[in-house]
Amino acid sequence: MTKLELMLAGFGGQGILFAGKLVAYAGLIEDKHVSWLPSYGPEMRGGTCNCSVCVSDEQIGSPQMLTPNALIAMNQPSLEKFIGHVQPGGIVLVDSSIIPTKVDRTDLKVFYVPATEIAEKNGLKGMANILLTGKLLKETGFASVENAKAAVSKVVPPKKANLIDSNLKALQLGLDY
Amino acid sequence: MTVVFDRPHALTDNVFHYCPGCSHGIVHRLIAEVIDELGIEGKTVGVAPVGCAVFAYNYFNCDMAEAAHGRAPAVATGIKRANPDNIVFTYQGDGDLAAIGTAETVHAATRGENITVIFINNAIYGMTGGQMAPTSLPGQITQTTPYGRDVKTAGYPVRVCEMLSTLSGTALAQRVAVDSVAHIHQTKAAIKKAFQYQQEKLGYSIVEVVSTCSTNWGLSPVDAIQWLKDNMIPYYPLGVYKDIKEGEQKND
Amino acid sequence: MKVLMKGNEALAEAAIRAGCRHFFGYPITPQTEVAAYMAKQMPKVGGTYLQAESEISAINMVYGAASAGKRAMTSSSSPGISLKQEGISYLVGSDLPCLIVNVQRAAPGLGGIQPSQGDYFQATKAPGHGDSHIFVMAPSSIQEMADFVETCFEKAEEYRMPSMLLADGMLGQMMEPIELKEGEPKEVEKPWALTGTKMQRPHNVINSLYIDPPELERILIERYERYAKIEENEQRAELYKMDDAEYAVVSYGASARIAMSAVDKARDEGIKVGLIRCITLWPYPKKFIEASAGQIKHYLAVEMNMGQMVEDLRLVVNGRAPVDFFGRAGGIIPSPAEVLEEIRKISKGGK
């Protein structure tokens, strides 16, 4: 994939923006053009939250991924809101431990990943976002695994450095799924 | 020949534009004398208001800024934060300080902004020709209270020193007057103390000078002084409202 | 080494690197990260971060610090900039350099909090009351959010006037990799500054009051001679795929990015279209548009408002080619597909 046009969406608190940053940083380490654009405003608090990330070989015009070629959906409303906009042939990652429904479009590569459940089983509560990012990495190859891992230590703030290992573990679980 | 009385160095030789009987000239002179005596002219920066004292920048020999109406405390804050070693004072009237600039005044005080405020309270808007001020007295006739200030519709006067004395950032809040020689001496002492408190970095200091505006009060200068004694001082008692060195005391 | 930064944080860091040590602000979405960044960083470099009681106070604190000769700035978003307009007029009238950042949101009134370019008129035509201009730059990327901060300070000091970085919520909130500048900022002599006379010079006065009409008129004429120089020397724009273009999109800031995406797509369809991206909004980059006038058959202004910059474009084109407008407002960012559709229309000779 030469250009990743990613929409991540879910509830506030699921780490949507953080996962987006991880993707963006991996792209930065790859020396690619990168943009990251969050939704902002009252919806940050408990409501829906989304984030557009673009990783590209070329200069990025609009940073808004209105017709993404990859979607990570972490709740039902987000899936419903964005599924119709994904480009044909695009990749969709659904956290199936939260979203019970199936995607009825047949022109997409849809992966149902019980990310929240797997993360909890592995003692990585709240890291479904990173797990899904790992799966995205596996399916799209937007960066090398090595650079994605390097990005983890970039985006985890120094004060929370103890969480780097668990983030790496979550990423690996996604890569292995 | 011995010179026994001269213009303070901190005043320029520009002729004041103030009306006969106006208190501004006296207070300007007192500030300049204090600046001379403290030897701080070279590092003092003054901020002039909008109001009759709008041209104060022409009268003081120190560096001067002209502020928008009511904003002098914010401008002074910027100057002081830029160069904390400068001595920064504002010179403001009642409309400037207690109406349009109330927010700037209260917050400069509550921040303990290390500036000195000289506040001329003459209970009227002078420059625009005699309208009600936030400090106009109940019943006072002005151009915009032609039947006398009715507190039911125009509200009550603001007692600035009392209000600011409640704020922890205020180092000195003192009300004085320039209606007599004794009071003029007190005023000078208060202004000096305020500047000294700033030198000692104690915080916000304000000297409220109860003043006359004979032109807009429609009185002769002598009658205006009497009106001040009879009406202003009873409503605005003179004294130290806050002095962080002395603790609180009221009414000298 | 590139770092990933939000636009708001990038401009704040760039300001510190440009030697700005005095920031006065008031919280407002979507620029609050500027204040938060300054609150964190200014104490580390011995600078002042002060959260003022209002936008009005903040701009007047800037007036004070600028009077004292320091690089000072404030930052806000549209409703807050309206409050600052009084102070901006005084800064203009007193010939004081400073930086004002406007991370625009949808308006009028309380409007919304999503991105907009609705303050183009305010920034370029009437930054405050009276005859006045400020130097206005419109960044389109996070790199420019950072780079233009220093340019704004430099031009402000060179011409003794306020500068504005006119961004919007999208640029404020988004992250891109940027390279931050190293090195010492240029020091400028400010003999007019209020630093105290030290009893060695006549007193300096910072003032915008001239009660004598002929004197005030003379000062305005002098200031406008300076403005003419700026219009001569400081116009900036970026030309994208304009060499063989028959159609031109004219845009700026965030909407220019959308326009660029649309131009690329239109080129794929064989439409000879280019983009004139205005970088300075005042002075308006007339020269760049003028240079295209014989070549372009149809212009399309793209903005995130109801049509503002398009008026300046029409003045320059002056009837030599049709000028159309496409915009989204209310906090909506136009999509490249929408802009592409408009480009198709003008390329078919109509709209």
Of C306, C351, C300, nearest to C328 (Cα)?
A: C306
Angstroms from A76 CA to nearest CA on chain C? 24
Pairing state between β C135-137 and C72-76:
unpaired
Chain C touched by B115 (CB under 8 Å):
no
Please state the ipTM of this predicted complex. 0.95
- β-sheet bridge partners, residue A27: none
Task: Check the CA dihedral B13-B14-B19-B22 and report its sign.
Answer: negative
Tokens of A65: 């991924």
Note the pLDDT tens digit of each residue in A80-131: 999 999 999 999 999 999 999 999 999 999 999 999 999 999 999 999 999 9
Tell me, yes or no, if B78 comes closer than 8 A to chain C by beta carbon. yes
Pair C136, C173 in one domain: yes
What angle do helix axes A16-29 and A145-155 make, rounded to 10 degrees?
A: 120
User: Residue C208: inside a domain, yes or no?
Assistant: no
Nearest to A108 by CA among A126, A83, A127: A83
In a domain, C147, yes or no: yes
Number of domains present in the structure of chain C:
2
Residues from chain C that touch B68, judged by Cβ atoms under 8 A, are: 60, 63, 86-87, 90
Residues C243 and C229 in one domain: no
User: Searching chain A, which residue's CA lies closest to the CA of residue C28?
Assistant: A41
Nearest to C174 among A25, A28, A63 (CB): A63
Picking from C86, C194, C205, the nearest residue to B79 by CB comes out as C194
Whether pLDDT at C157 is above 70: yes
Of B61, B63, B103, nearest to C195 by CB-CB distance is B63
Please give the structure tokens belonging to residue B68: 């928008």
- Are residue C132 and residue C253 in the same domain, yes or no? no
The CATH number of the domain holding residue C151 is 3.40.50.970
Considering the domain architecture, whether residues C177 and C98 belong to the same structural domain is answered as yes
Mapping DSSP to helix (H, G, I), strand (E, B) and coil, where does residue B216 land? helix
| Of the residues C211, C233, C255, the one at which a domain ends | C233
- Which residue's entry shows tokens 């200030």? B149
C275 & C322 share domain: yes
CA C122 to chain A, closest CA, distance in angstroms equals 24
C16 assigned to some structural domain? yes
Q: Which of A28, A37, A40 sits opposite C4 (nearest CB)?
A: A28
HSE, side-chain direction, 13 A CA sphere, residue A117: 10
Contact C94 B74 (CB under 8 A): no
pLDDT tens, position by position, C191-229: 999 999 999 999 999 999 999 999 999 999 999 999 999
- Per-block mean pLDDT, blocks of 10 residues, chain A (177 long): 92 94 97 94 68 96 95 96 97 97 97 98 96 98 97 93 95 96
| Cα B114 to Cα B117: distance, rounded to the nearest angstrom | 10
Within a 10 A sphere around the Cβ of C321, how many other Cβ atoms? Answer: 17
Give the model's pLDDT for residue B246. Answer: 84
C209 belongs to a structural domain = no
Residue C153: inside a domain, yes or no? yes
Give the CATH architecture of domain B24-243. 3-Layer(aba) Sandwich (3.40)
Using a pLDDT cut of 70, give the percent of chain B over it: 98
> For B33-79, what is each residue's pLDDT tens digit?
999 999 999 999 999 999 999 999 999 999 999 999 999 999 999 99
Q: Are residues C8 and C119 in the same domain?
A: yes
| Per-residue pLDDT at C254 exceeds 80 | yes
Is residue C89 scored above 60 in pLDDT?
Answer: yes
Clarify whether residues C283 and C229 are in a common domain: no
Residues C172 and C250 in one domain: no
Task: Report pLDDT digits (tens) over B170-202.
Answer: 999 999 999 999 999 999 999 999 999 999 999
Residues of chain C contacting residue B76, judged by C-beta atoms under 8 Å apart: 64
Partners for A (CB, 8 Å, 3+ pairs)?
C
Whether residue C301 contacts residue C276, with contact meaning beta carbons closer than 8 Å, is answered with no
Beta bridge partners of B173: B206, B242
Please name the member of C4, C113, C333 whose beta carbon is closest to the beta carbon of A25. Answer: C4
- Domain map of chain B by residue range? 24-243
Instruction: Count other Cβ atoms within 10 Å, centred on residue C322.
Output: 16
Q: Kindly report the CA angle at A86 between A82 and A88, in degrees rounded to 5? A: 155
pLDDT at A1: 59
Q: Given this model, what pLDDT does residue A40 score?
A: 82
Residue C51 CA to residue B169 CA, distance in Å, equals 16
Same domain assignment for residues C226 and C278: no
Instruction: Say if residue C115's pLDDT is above 80.
Output: yes
Domain that holds residue C322: 238-347
Domains located in chain A, CATH noted: 3-176 (3.40.920.10)
Residues of C in contact with A24 (CB under 8 A): 4, 175
Identify the residue among A18, A34, A37, A55 best suited for mutation to test binding to C, counting C beta carbons within 10 A and taking the highest: A37
Spatial contact of B42 and C196, defined as CB atoms under 8 Å apart? yes
Query: pLDDT at position C184, please?
Result: 87
Q: C260 and A40: CB-CB below 8 Å?
A: no
| Residue B121, helix vs strand vs coil | strand
Residue A2 is predicted with a pLDDT of 82
Task: Indicate whether C225 and C264 sit together in one domain.
Answer: no
- The confidence band for B119, taking pLDDT boundaries of 50, 70 and 90, is very high
What is the Cβ-side half-sphere exposure of residue A165, based on CA atoms within 13 angstroms?
3
Residues of C in contact with B64 (CB under 8 A): 194, 203-207
Q: Are A62 and C114 an interchain contact pair (Cβ–Cβ within 8 Å)?
A: no
CA gap C298, C306 in Å, rounded: 20
Give residue C205's pLDDT.
Answer: 98
Same domain membership, residue C35 and residue C14? yes
Residue C128 CA from chain centroid, whole number:
15
Task: For chain C, give the secondary structure using H, E and C.
Answer: CCEEEEHHHHHHHHHHHCCCCEEEECCCCCCHHHHHHHHHHHHHHCCEEEECCCHHHHHHHHHHHHHCCCCEEEEECHHHHHHHHHHHHHHHHCCCCEEEEEEEECCCCCCCCCECCCCHHHHHCCCCCCCCCCEEECCCCHHHHHHHHHHHHHHHHHHCCEEEEEEEHHHHHCEEEECCCCCCCCCCCCCCCCCCCCCCCCCCEECCCCCCHHHHHHHHHHHHHHHHHHHHHCCCEEEECCCCCCEEEEEEHHHHHHHHHHHHHHHHCCCCEEEEEECEEECCCHHHHHHHCCCCCEEEEEECCCCCHHHHHHHHHCCCCCEEEEECCCCCCCCHHHHHHHHHHHHCCCC
- Tokens representing residue C136 in the block: 């206005």
Give the mean pLDDT of C317-324.
Answer: 97
Indicate if the pLDDT at residue B251 is higher than 50.
Answer: no
E-assigned strand segments in chain B: 44-48, 63-66, 87-93, 116-121, 170-177, 204-210, 239-243
Confidence (pLDDT) at B170:
98
- Interface membership of C56 toward B (CB under 8 Å): yes
Is B97's Cβ below 8 Å from some Cβ in C?
A: no
A38 and C173 within 8 Å at the Cβ level: the answer is yes
Question: Does residue C250 register a pLDDT over 90?
Answer: yes
Residues C225 and C261 grouped into a single domain: no
Tell me if C215 is assigned to some domain: no
Rounded Cα distance, A145 and A149, in Å = 6
**What pLDDT, on a 0 to 100 scale, did the predictor assign at position C305?**
98
Strands laid side by side in the A3-11 sheet: A109-113, A91-95, A70-73, A3-11, A48-56, A33-38, C175-178, C3-6
Residues of B in contact with C91 (CB under 8 A): none
